[in-house]
Amino acid sequence: MRIIKKPEVGTKDIIRIRTISILCALVTSGLFILILNNNPFEVFAGMVDGAFGTPHRIRSTLIKAIPLVITSLGISIAFRMKFWNIGGEGQILMGAYAATLFYRQFPDLGRPVMLMAMFVAAMIGGGLWALIPAFFRAKWRTNETIVTLMMNYVALIWITYLQYSAWKDPAAMGFPKIEPYGLNAQLPRLLGIHIGWVIALGLIVIMYFFMNHSKKGYEIAVLGESENTALYAGINVPKTIMTAVFLSGALCGLTGFVQATGVSGSLSVNLTMGVGFTAIITSWLSNLRVPVILIVSILFAALVQGASYIQVAFGIPAAASTILQSLILFFVLGSEFFLRYQFSFKK
């Protein structure tokens, strides 16, 4: 038995494989729910209701989807070039750090100027943090997976030091927290949600045209297909790597700005909530296609929001709801294998 790459996959095959994977996920999850002495149909209906049942729940789902959309867009740039950026968590933190650093230096600026400056600072902070592994890759051909992954922990330790020592709020009664932002550094709300959703939708449009209708987007795609082809076409490979990874880190850093100014109201070690790693899944599930990233991110956020709801509604433990998420993701991600490969049997 050998595993060989499929020459071509038609639309009907994609629909069939996706449908089978979802059915397998539902059946397996249903059996797990039965073991917990719950009705699978009621629990699944509860997950949908928990994500979209009321305007408040819809807003909660969208708030969870916003950082996923922005980070997934950033991760997809690097992935399109076959640069495996696993450092989204660290880039988010360093983007939020750069924005907070600017706020602490100029705390009295007006709200529009403050938010715009923090916006830019976050993108620069996340981009520069991502440039370190990009430089190593372009200069010495290092493994970017290891470098970006380890830099997550460097960023986390740095923010932990600030939260517990250097920037610890003296008015927090001994609790390890950084002083919250003033009103001039908080994102305004629109339709009951912070305007991060406007930023996310704007980035969807910009990134679609950038990746599909710009010279730099074309160069990134060519480099991802074959470095030799890129060299033959006259593309400056080191420069393209540095540019693409800087943009990837800049968008992740922008997520840090949105989360800090729109959700948490300050810099914190818990700012990312695992978004940097989750975005790897959503980017891959969307096949690195910009419009699809929006849909996949919302569905994943709905899965998380629904799983939180059933903990209360059905008394399901938090660990069990996490297992439900994992089972569904396992089968959906597993379908990617059968979309790309097939088994070949020979006697």
Q: What pLDDT sits at residue 175?
A: 86
- 175-197 in b/e burial notation, b at 16+ Cβ within 10 A? eebbbbbeebbbbeeeeebbbbb
Average pLDDT in the chain: 90
Cβ–Cβ under 8 Å, residues 73 and 290 = yes
Question: Is 90 exceeded by the pLDDT of residue 105?
Answer: yes
pLDDT confidence bin for 65, thresholds 50/70/90: very high
Q: Which residues pair with 168 in a beta bridge?
A: 178
Can you give the length of the chain in residues? Answer: 347
Q: Residues 192, 119, 252, 69: is their CA dihedral positive or negative?
A: positive
pTM tops 0.85, yes or no: yes
CA atoms of 124 and 253, how far apart (whole Å): 8
Burial bucket for residue 346 (CB in 10 Å: 0-12, 13-18, 19+)? exposed
Cβ–Cβ under 8 Å, residues 203 and 290 = no
pLDDT confidence bin for 328, thresholds 50/70/90: confident
Question: Is 80 exceeded by the pLDDT of residue 11?
Answer: no
3-state secondary structure 294-341: HHHHHHHHHHHHHHHHHHHHCCCCHHHHHHHHHHHHHHHHHHHHHHHE
CA atoms of 203 and 111, how far apart (whole Å): 22
Greater confidence (225 vs 121) lies with 121
> Above pLDDT 70, what percent of the chain?
100
Question: Is 80 exceeded by the pLDDT of residue 213?
Answer: yes
Q: What pLDDT sits at residue 262?
A: 92
| Terminal CA-CA length for the chain | 9
pLDDT confidence bin for 317, thresholds 50/70/90: confident
CA atoms of 180 and 158, how far apart (whole Å): 18
Q: Rounded mean pLDDT of 105-113?
A: 92
